[in-house]
Every structure is written in C-alpha cells, then in structure tokens.
Chain A
Amino acid sequence: MKKRGKGIGATFYGTGYGNGFPDVSNCEVELNCQGKIVVYTGATEVGQGAKTVLSQIAAEVMGVDLDSIVLVCEDTCCTPDAGTAAASRQTYNTGNGVRLACIKLKEMIKKVEENHKRVKGLPDEILTMKEIYEASRAQAIILKARDSFTACTSTMDEENGQGSPYWPYTFSCYAVEVEVDTETGRIEVLNAYCAQDVGKAINPVLIEGQIEGGFAMGMSWTLYEDLNLNQGIIKNNNFSKYIIPTSMDMPDICSIIVEDEESTGPYGAKGIGEPVMLAAMPAILNAIHDAVGIRVTKLPASPDYIVKKIQELDKSNLIERK
C-alpha cells in the first residue's frame, strides 16, 4: 500500500572555522594599465560560484561593470591566502576581505583623481579608469591596496556556554511530501519546499542552484548512499552499488530565498554551501513518520530497513490490541 506523509526540518548552522580559530581572508586589488580592477585572492572556485560572487562584490564597491573586474584566484604565486573553500566561508569571509581591499583602493583612486583635477584645473572632468591609471603614473603612485578580514569568533566557555563559537549562523527550514510503499519500502519524495536564509542574495540564481544541489545531496544521504563497510572494506565500491539519485528520482524543488541581512557580512551576505543540505534529512524522516508512523534511526533509510521497521511496528500494535 502507498501512504503519503508530510514533514518539516529546521536547522541552524554556524559557518566559518569557529571557536576562535584564526579565520582570515586576505585580498589585494590593483588598477591595471587597461583600466581594469584586478582582484587577487586565494579563494578556490570548486563550482560553488566563488569567482562570480567575489567579482560581483568587487564591482559593487568600485562602481564598475562586472566586465571591468579581473579576478585572479587559486594561484599561490600571486594570490594572498584566503583560507580554504570549506566551512561555507568564502562568500562571507573572503567577500569581506575583497570588499575591504576594494574600499581602500577606491579611496586611493579618489585621491589620485582629485590631485589630477586640481593640477589640471579641470574640477568637472570625468576620468575613465584608464586615465586614472595614467594619472597615478604621473603622480608616482602605485594603485594597489591590500586588506584582510578575520571572522569574529571566540572559544566557548565550557562552564556557562557563553561566547561566540561561530559567526554568523545560517538558518533554514525545508518541507517535503513523501510517498512510502509499505511493501517494497521504496520512498518517493514528491515535493520539496526549501526556505533558506542567505543574509543577502548576492547571486539568486547561484543560490537556487545551491539549494537544489544541497537538497539532492541531503536526500541521497537520507535514502540511498551506503558504503556498506564490512570489517573496514568498502563493499559498495562503484556507482552501480553506491546509489545516488538520478533526475528521475528528484522531486520538483521550490526554493525560497529568505533575506535577513547580516550586519557583519559583505552587503549582508552569509555562507550557504553546507547549510543547504542539512534540513533535507530531518524533513524527509519526519514525513516518513507522518506517512507510516516509524522513526528512522539509521541512515540510509533503505527499502529493506523501512520494511523491517514497518513490520516491527505492526507487530507491536498487534500485541497492544491484544
């Protein structure tokens, strides 16, 4: 028999290294001879969109088009350290580093521009970035700035739980509808609604992609992925046995971006890389409980496990009735 159920899962997640560990992102920016803003930072693009988001932040501060930003990253020869692409920290931490360095460069540019106008006696002249570069050469000033951002965390007091072990926190709430086949134990996720707090959506399309990918990963973790360890040996050692969902298994995902600006974030933005997968699991498991009344306490919630739990429940119900 097929039974349907609904469930929600709500999570909060501290991003960054946390617990007072030095969480530092450095950035260098310069104006080059072509009038482009070159941003140097060690942030790694692993497909999450760091290059896009960091370029957007730089363009916003400098007041130029995205085309005028050249982002140089992942090159240890010329990029200052910006920490790992981990802990959902690049948008927040390195985003802040890029923003601070750009603010400094902008100040320098302003001074060069003012000097130039005063010397030339043309107070109303509007200079292009290329002209500003040339003016800086004439003034013997190198338009290059560097800044750094450190996340504000402290170790937690073990006695009273006080302190700021993480900064900032990201919140999410997902709701799903599932259909459980009580005989085959197969679970179909029919619908998913994913509300994710992002601080400020610097790139909404990237966030939607992250939410969909995060939900797929969370669903896969909940229902499919199993290494099947046997005395330390991985039995499911290829993708015919180590199952992950296909597009045929995924539900339609309705992603809801919640914006509540984080005062310390670059334009209010926070990291969402890891948070987007978290709420999928509790939401699906709660929906399973709603559908068939069983509590899943082991992952993955594989078909044979579901059938076993349903049978156990039926048995205990039978005994109760007697």
Chain B
Amino acid sequence: MNIKLYKPSTLNEAVELMGYNDGRIIAGGTDLIIELRNRNEKPSYLVDISSLSELKELRIEKEMISIGSAVTFTDIIENKYIKEKLPCFTDMAMMIGAVQIQNRATIGGNICNAAPAADSIPLLMSLGAKCIIISQRGIREVLLANFINDKGKVRLNSDEILKLIEFGSLGENEGCGFSKLGKRNAMSISTISCAVKIRLDEDIIDNICIYTGSLGIKATKEEKVESFLKGVIYNKQNIDKAADLLSQEVSERLGTRASMPYKRVAVKTVFKEACYSAAEKYGNDQLYMSGGSDI
C-alpha cells in the first residue's frame, strides 16, 4: 500500500486538493483504514481533514445546533450543552463502538460511510438535520434524509467535502429519544436502532418523526406509524398499537430475510424505548394512567 497523504492546514486548501480527481477524504479513519487494509478502497491520494479547526466547530445557538464534520463522538459526549438539552444525542454517541473509536470517529465520517447500522444517522434524520457541503464551486445544502442514497452511498461529488451538519434545537414541548439494540452492552454494532422526535400538546401527539436503522439499506422514515400516532393521545395503548403496526411494516419490508422473524418482534421494544425516552421529560404519567406496568 503506497498512498500519498495530504494534510491541509485550512479548509480552502482541502477543498482545492479535492478538486483534483480521485482523492479520498480521511478524518478519523475508523472505517476507511479497514477498507484500505482489505484493499477494497484504492484511492490515489488521501486528504486528512481531521485537524481542520473550521470543521471541528460545535456551535450552539438559540435555535440552531451545528456540528462540524470532523467533530469526534468524544467531543459530542463531553459537550455539556448537548448533554443537558439533547441527552439522547450524548447517549447515542456513547453507544458507538468503544471509547477508542469514539475518540477518533467523526460525525461526518459516520454519515458519509452511510452504513445501514450507523447510529448517528436515524437520530440526525429525526431531528431534520441538513448537510452543508463545500467545494470550489461553492456551498450547497441538502437534507440528510436525501443525502444518503443507498447502503454505503451518499450524494457527494468527488470534489466536495461535507462541512457541517445542522439542525434546529428542541422546542418547549418537544422531546427526542434514541434506542439501540445490539448483541451486547458495549462495542456493539446495532441490530436495530430507532430515533423518535415527538411534540406533545398536553397529552395529544401533535407531531412525531420516527426513523429506524439497520432495517434496510438505509435509515427509514416510518411514515405509516407516524400518521397513526399524529393527533392521538400519548398513552400506553396507542404506543403499543403503533409498535404492532411497526412490527407489521418491518415484516413486510424484510420479507423472506432470515433476520425477519426476530427483528419483527424485537423492533417493538426498541421503538417503545425510543418513544418513552423522547417523552421522558413529561414524566410518562399517561402511560401508567392507562394501565399496564411492564415498561
């Protein structure tokens, strides 16, 4: 293996380097290095963006949170504001790989690698995240949900760099939750993941956004379940019904796959956990009021 590595000192230099053809961006390298070793990737040169200060910014404004693409998961875990205002984001980051991976791996890398099991993607999609992309031709903006194309594929031209990801912070009566099922409690690739963003008007579900991960080629918006839950009372019966509906959706989607009989059942718990954690700040009182104690 003999690959040239460029380490630009500014974002402009990096953008210029990507203007020549057949270069690959490397940030944390936690996915790319493995692919290089396995000789699945043969770029003619690498551009290391991991220490570009422009891409390591984590900006939190009143209504908008923006995370530079080279921000590591450890940076996210250690951010006090995120921990306070968006605890599900901290939880998600803590569930990724091992501490060593969290120290190296970046949010931009997790997105651009576009693995079906990527943990940050369903959560960012449910938050309505946008990707800001830079190249010599200028800056463009695209919704994350549209940015990811297929398993391992994103709509990023060879001369472009993902600069940052931004999304609106949670409103007064909004909550967000993330849940992941893996084979063990740490260092685990998700078998199923689910992110839920919910807006409650008293006990009525005013708006809900649900994304599941690891149940298809890319994170999927569960529109049927969303439309079932929109406008109904947030209580245990309705969440259980929604879980059954999701289970049906999943069994249809996975069809004859060997994992279907298991995932069809397990997705219910993952979804319910994400829901409960999204509505946690409301105390989940409604759940108990309507009977049932097995949550």
Contact = CB atoms under 8 A, between A and B. Distances in A.
A184 B259 contact: no
A318 interface: no
A1 B294 contact: yes
A307 B265 contact: yes
A247 B181 CA distance: 18
B243 to A, nearest CB: 9
Nearest to A304: B262
Contacts of A307: 261-262, 265-266
Nearest to A239: B187
B183 A303 contact: yes
B187 A304 contact: no
A185 B261 contact: no
B269 A183 contact: yes
A215 interface: no
Nearest to A302: B183
A311 interface: yes
Contacts of A185: 262, 265-266
A243 B184 contact: yes
Contact of B183 (A2, A183, A243): A243
Chain B: interface residue count, which band?
A: 10 to 19
A248 interface: yes
Nearest to A310: B265
B184 A183 contact: no
B24 interface: no
Interface in A175-193: 181, 183-186
Contact of B266 (A2, A183, A246): A183
Contacts of A302: 183
B262 A186 contact: no
B185 A246 contact: yes
Contact of A183 (B189, B191, B261, B265): B265
B186 interface: yes
A274 to B, nearest CB: 25
Contacts of B186: 246-249
Contacts of B183: 224, 243, 302-303
B263 to A, nearest CB: 8
A183 B189 CA distance: 19
Interface in B159-202: 181, 183-189, 191
Interface string B269-290: 1100000000000000000000
A245 B186 CA distance: 9
A224 B187 CA distance: 13
B247 to A, nearest CB: 10
B270 A184 contact: yes
Interface string B133-147: 000000000000000
Contacts of A2: 294
A308 B261 contact: yes
Interface string B247-274: 0000000000001011001101110000
A128 interface: no
A20 B94 CA distance: 55
B261 A249 contact: no
Contact of A304 (B188, B259, B269): B259
A224 B184 contact: yes
Interface in A1-18: 1-2
A186 B181 contact: yes
Contacts of B181: 184, 186
A243 B266 CA distance: 19
Given A183-B269, A240-B189, A303 B184 contact: no
Interface of B: 181, 183-189, 191, 259, 261-262, 265-266, 268-270, 294
24 contacts: A181-B269, A183-B266, A183-B268, A183-B269, A184-B265, A184-B269, A185-B262, A185-B266, A224-B184, A246-B184, A246-B185, A246-B186, A247-B186, A248-B184, A248-B186, A249-B185, A249-B186, A303-B262, A303-B266, A304-B261, A304-B262, A307-B265, A308-B261, A311-B265
The list of the 6 closest CB pairs from A to B, nearest first, reads: A304-B262, A248-B186, A248-B185, A183-B269, A246-B186, A184-B266
